[in-house]
Amino acid sequence: MDKIPLPFPVAGAVRFPNQAQFHPLKFVSGIAKGLHIYEHTRVRELIGTTAVTNHGRVRAKKIIVTTHFPFLSKHGSYFLKLYQHRSYVIAFQSAPDVDGMYLDEAQTGMSFRNYENLLLIGGGDHRTGKKGGGWQELQDFARRHYPQAKEQYRWAAQDCMSLDGAPYIGPYSASTTDLYVATGFNKWGMTASMVSAMILSDLVQGKKNPYEEVFAPSRSILHPQLAVNGFEAVVNLLTPTTKRCPHLGCALKWNPIEHTWDCPCHGSRFTEDGKLIDNPATGDLKN
């Protein structure tokens, strides 16, 4: 397409017909019916296919780790293969209906969609622990292009990013058996989770899947992003500070926008008083 109903010129756009926009919590509620789900049961360690919790051990024939960022660091090298990205959304009232869902092809671009009488504008992205546009970027955009719009809600999300832009779905590592993973969805959680479900349901049953090699976590890690991840790790491991991430010891950075301590290496986040918010860290900060 040459023109789209957004308040700025575009070089062009690719339109995908027959897309669905749905409520994620209602979707999860539907597919969770009939499942045995145990909340508030933090897994501290995996020993083979035994999950160690604060209240006992859970033994299984096969385990799938879908903890956003895999917390088992001694296998798979996910601390090298993943980094985390924060992005921001503001829901505006008295803003136009854009008749669709729009996403910039640039990683740090913006997104637009409507929900009922609200216009949701997303963007302000940055690597966790680094500086970025945040909500201010979205507010400035709305002030310029939708001066009548009124902010109703705001929130932020955090996503695991892989080295090559494709998720890691399959065996956790070459050295583990009956242990699987799904991570690195690169902000495409709805679609990547469905792909994960199809691939992993085949693998745990011993079936071949035509896409398993494409998403194999053991594929090559030789990508430019690996050097960036390594640089961030070295710099933050050598940075002197009293606040350090319990995951692998990186220096934490204060996030003045959300009032949190964030790890630039792997994306763990903590409240102002040290309570864990986001993994791969598995515990609170020690005073």
The domain limits of the chain are 43-67+164-215, 224-278
What is the C-alpha to C-alpha distance for residues 57 and 49, in angstroms, rounded to an integer? 10
The helix (run of H) or strand (run of E) holding residue 86 is: strand 82-93
CATH number of 224-278: 2.102.10.10
Between CA 222 and CA 177 the distance in angstroms is 24
Which whole-number Å values give the CA distances from 121 to 9, 154, 161, 193, in the listed order? Answer: 17, 10, 21, 23
pLDDT at 245: 92
Identify the three-state secondary structure at position 189. Answer: helix
Strand-strand pairing, 63-65 and 179-183: parallel
Residue 174 per-residue DSSP state? T
Beta bridge partners of 85: 127, 159
- CA-nearest of 89, 186, 188, 187 to 133 is 89
pTM of the model: 0.89
pLDDT, residue 106, reads 83
pLDDT at 172: 96
Q: How far apart are CA 44 and CA 41, in angstroms?
A: 9
* pLDDT, position 198: 97
Residues 112, 124: contact at Cβ < 8 Å?
A: no
Q: What is the mean pLDDT of each run of 10 residues along the chain (287 residues)?
A: 90 90 90 90 88 92 94 89 95 94 88 95 93 93 95 96 96 93 94 96 96 95 91 87 88 92 94 93 85
- Other CB atoms within 10 A of residue 103 CB: 14
Cα 278 versus chain centre, distance: 10
**What is the per-residue pLDDT for 125?**
93
* Cα distance between residue 167 and residue 197, in whole Å: 13
Residue 226's Cβ-side half-sphere holds a number of Cα atoms within 13 Å equal to 9
Q: Are 265 and 233 in contact (CB under 8 A)?
A: yes
Secondary structure class of 99 (helix, strand, coil): coil
Token representation of residue 191: 């679609």
| Cα–Cα nearest to 68, from 229, 164, 185 | 185
Closest to 60 in 3D by CA, of 180, 150, 143, 171: 180
Only one residue has tokens 């789900």, namely 37
Give CA angle at 208 (204, 213), nearest 5°: 100
Q: What is the pLDDT of residue 274?
A: 93
185-191: long-range contacts at Cβ-Cβ below 8 A with a sequence spacing of 24 or more? 185/159, 185/160, 186/159, 186/160, 186/161, 186/162, 187/85, 187/87, 187/159, 187/161, 189/159, 190/24
